[in-house]
Amino acid sequence: MHMKTRSFKIWGLLLVASLLMSVPLQAQTMTAKELVNKSYNLFLGKSSFSIMTMEIVRPTWQRSIEMQAWSLGDQYYIALITQPARDKGEVFLKYDKDMWNFIPAINRVIKIPPSMMMQSWMGSDFTNNDLMKQNSIVEDYTHKYNGSATIDGYDCYEVNLTPLPDAAVVWGSIKMWIAKKNYNMLKAEFYDTHAKLVKTETASDLKVMGGRLLPTLLEMTSNTKPGDKTVIHILYQEFDVKGIDLPFFSIQKIKNIRPREVHTK
């Protein structure tokens, strides 16, 4: 009888081991910070090129902006405004931790100080920091799993982000919902230092672009100014693009950069 009991215990252990092996190792060992970083990097690759439109909606008016963007890793980024006519040719450059703005109307390049990184970008609900893809959410916060939830039919991890003691950030906390299956961030809530919800970002309409399943509709909604929101439609996305290297991201380049001709439909 003793041998039979021992045999059943051994088979039980083997069964548990086989079940664990059937779960992706990554899901077992990934920390909350690694999950956020993985989600963040979905839009980056070694390099990338994208075409998008941005609609700024206010209770009494709205405007549309068209742009093209180039990136190298998470430290180098260029955004070129292609429409409307009054903003056409305006360029933003992120080079490591510095950011510049080229204004063709006055033929000047202006350096944007760190104190303005959280200011509105082009009058939208996104900040300079949001559009310049600064990896602050990875480096400046602690990350903790806080259960699961369903967003738009996707089973998601809920992750709470709390700023590090010495981090130069404005958010008191952030909550993110990241799809377990494809690692896309589908929702994020941004709270001030008094735990008041300030704005909510949602990502939807997932499509394969550049060989990756990605959201193509991003919406930032104000929770303090009713009726204010900004919607970004990603029309084209390409990764690991030839010719996008470090010399590409220079002040001289942004004075002469031209839009690429790409068929987005």
Closest C-alpha among 149, 147, 174, 176 to residue 163: 174
Under a CB-based contact definition with an 8 Å cutoff, are residues 204 and 152 in contact?
A: yes
Residue 81, beta-bridge partner list:
67
User: Average pLDDT of 164-184?
Assistant: 92
**Residue, of 170 and 248, whose pLDDT is higher:** 248
Angstrom distance (rounded) from CA 116 to CA 19: 51
Give the global pTM: 0.83
pLDDT of residue 9: 44
Give tens-digit pLDDT for 181-230: 999 999 999 999 999 999 999 999 999 999 999 999 999 999 999 999 99
User: Rounded to 5 degrees, what angle do the CA atoms 62, 63, 66 make?
Assistant: 150
Under a CB-based contact definition with an 8 Å cutoff, are residues 56 and 225 in contact?
A: no
Residue 76 has pLDDT above 80, yes or no: yes
Residue 187, beta-bridge partner list:
177, 202
pLDDT of residue 131: 64
Closest C-alpha among 108, 171, 102 to residue 134: 171
pLDDT of residue 106: 93
